[in-house]
C-alpha cells in the first residue's frame, strides 16, 4: 500500500446530489462527506436534464467544494442525453465521471475512448456503476478493462429489481453479487463503493448496513441524504482502537529482535503489518481532510 499512498483518497461517504436543485448544490459545499456525485440521471426529471447538466458542470468546475471528491453522474449510454452529458462533463473536468449500468469491458473501453475524444483532463477518472446480474458475473472484466476506471459503484436497487429480490435486513439476496464485485475490485486494484440505503429515517438499519459493508470490505457507501454522512464516516473510518492497535503492531514489528513478534499476546506476521499500515494510511488521509 505504501507505494500508492499519495493516490489514496478516503471515500467513506459519497453523496448523490440532484443537480437540478441549486440549493442542494450549494449545501454540498458545507457537508463533511468525502465525495459527491452530482446527479444527472435518476434524481433529475427529463425536462430538467439540460439545465441540470449546466448546473453540475458549473459546480464541478467552480472549485468551491474544497477537498471533497467531485464527480458527475451522466445518463446511461442507452439514453438520448448521454452524448451531451459526457461531452459537457469532460469539458468541466470533475474528479470523475460516473456512468450507470456498465455491463462489459467493451463498454468501459468505449467510454474511455469517448472521454479521450472529448479531451477530458487526465485527472478525470471513470467510475462504473454495476447494477445488473450480467455485470456481477463479468465484474472482473469490467474492472480490469482500463486504468482510467478507478472506482466501482454498486447499484443495489437496480440489482435487486433485476434479481426479483426483496430488500431485507442483511441483504442475503444481494450477497453473491456484492461478493463478486468486491472480488473483482480487489483483484484489479480498484476502489469499490456500496449501494445506497433507501429509508433515510431508519438510522439503526442504515448503521447496520454500513457495518455490514465495512465488514465485507467496501471502501465506503453511496448516500442519498446528508443525514447519512456522519454514520458512513464513522463506520468506514478506522476506530480509535484500530488506530492504536495499528501503531502498536508496527512498533512491535520495527523493534523485533527475533523471528517471532507478538502484540497484546497475538502473533504478528507480514499480513498484519500490511493491514496496520493500510489502517494508518486511511487514518492519515482522513485526518488531512479534517473530518
**Looking at the chain, which runs of residues are DSSP E strands?**
13-18, 35-39, 69-73, 96-99, 125-130, 149-154, 191-194, 220-223, 261-263, 266-268
pTM of the model: 0.91
List the chain pLDDT tens, one digit each, 291 residues: 333 334 689 999 999 999 999 999 999 999 999 999 999 999 999 999 999 999 999 999 999 999 999 999 999 999 999 999 999 999 999 999 999 999 999 999 999 999 999 999 999 999 999 999 999 999 999 999 999 999 999 999 999 999 999 999 999 999 999 999 999 999 999 999 999 999 999 999 999 999 999 999 999 999 999 999 999 999 999 888 888 888 888 888 888 877 778 888 888 888 888 888 888 888 888 888 765
pLDDT of residue 2: 33
One domain for residues 231 and 273: no
C-alpha cell of residue 11: 471515500
Of 220, 236, 252, the residue that ends a domain is 236
Of 221, 236, 251, the residue that ends a domain is 236
pLDDT of residue 7: 60
pLDDT of residue 257: 74
One domain for residues 49 and 100: yes
One domain for residues 244 and 155: no
Tell me, what CATH number does 36's domain have? 3.20.20.60
Condensed to tens digits (0 to 9), the pLDDT of residues 46-84 reads 999 999 999 999 999 999 999 999 999 999 999 999 999
One domain for residues 84 and 218: yes
pLDDT of residue 265: 81
> 122, 99 in Cβ contact below 8 A?
no
One domain for residues 152 and 270: no
One domain for residues 128 and 45: yes
One domain for residues 185 and 145: yes
- Domain ranges, residue 281: 240-289
- Residue 21: CB atoms within 10 Å: 17
> What letter does residue 72 receive in the DSSP assignment?
E
One domain for residues 223 and 156: yes
- Tally the domains of the chain: 2
List, in order, residues 6 or more apart from 145 with CB less than 8 Å away: 105, 106, 108, 109, 112
One domain for residues 143 and 279: no
> What letter does residue 171 receive in the DSSP assignment?
-
One domain for residues 116 and 257: no
pLDDT of residue 188: 98
Of 219, 236, 253, the residue that ends a domain is 236
> How many CA atoms lie within 13 Å of 278's alpha carbon, on the beta-carbon side?
9
One domain for residues 188 and 203: yes
One domain for residues 185 and 279: no
Amino acid at each position: 500500500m505504501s507505494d500508492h499512498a499519495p493516490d489514496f483518497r478516503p471515500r467513506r461517504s459519497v453523496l448523490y446530489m440532484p443537480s437540478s436543485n441549486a440549493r442542494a448544490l450549494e449545501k454540498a459545499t458545507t457537508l463533511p462527506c468525502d465525495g459527491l456525485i452530482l446527479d444527472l440521471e435518476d434524481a433529475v426529471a427529463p425536462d430538467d436534464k439540460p439545465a441540470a447538466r449546466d448546473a453540475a458542470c458549473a459546480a464541478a468546475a467552480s472549485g468551491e467544494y474544497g477537498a471533497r471528491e467531485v464527480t458527475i453522474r451522466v445518463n446511461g449510454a442507452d439514453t438520448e442525453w448521454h452524448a451531451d452529458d459526457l461531452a459537457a462533463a469532460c469539458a468541466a473536468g470533475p474528479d470523475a465521471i460516473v456512468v450507470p449500468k456498465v455491463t462489459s469491458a467493451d463498454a468501459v473501453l468505449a467510454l474511455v475512448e469517448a472521454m479521450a475524444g472529448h479531451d477530458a483532463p487526465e485527472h478525470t477518472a471513470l467510475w462504473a456503476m454495476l447494477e445488473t446480474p450480467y455485470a456481477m458475473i463479468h465484474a472482473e472484466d469490467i474492472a480490469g478493462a482500463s486504468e482510467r476506471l478507478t472506482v466501482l459503484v454498486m447499484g443495489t436497487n437496480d440489482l435487486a429489481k433485476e434479481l426479483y429480490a426483496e430488500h431485507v435486513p442483511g441483504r442475503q439476496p444481494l450477497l453473491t453479487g456484492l461478493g463478486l464485485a468486491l472480488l473483482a475490485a480487489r483483484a484489479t486494484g480498484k476502489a469499490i463503493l456500496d449501494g445506497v440505503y433507501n429509508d433515510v429515517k431508519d438510522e439503526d438499519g442504515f448503521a447496520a448496513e454500513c457495518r455490514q459493508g465495512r465488514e465485507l470490505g467496501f471502501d465506503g457507501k453511496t448516500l442519498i441524504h446528508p443525514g447519512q454522512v456522519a454514520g458512513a464516516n464513522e463506520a468506514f473510518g478506522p476506530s480509535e482502537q484500530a488506530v492504536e492497535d495499528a501503531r502498536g503492531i508496527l512498533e512491535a514489528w520495527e523493534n523485533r529482535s527475533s523471528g517471532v513478534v507478538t502484540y497484546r499476546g497475538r502473533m504478528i506476521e507480514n499480513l498484519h503489518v500490511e493491514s496496520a499500515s493500510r489502517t494508518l494510511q486511511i487514518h492519515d488521509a482522513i485526518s488531512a481532510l479534517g473530518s
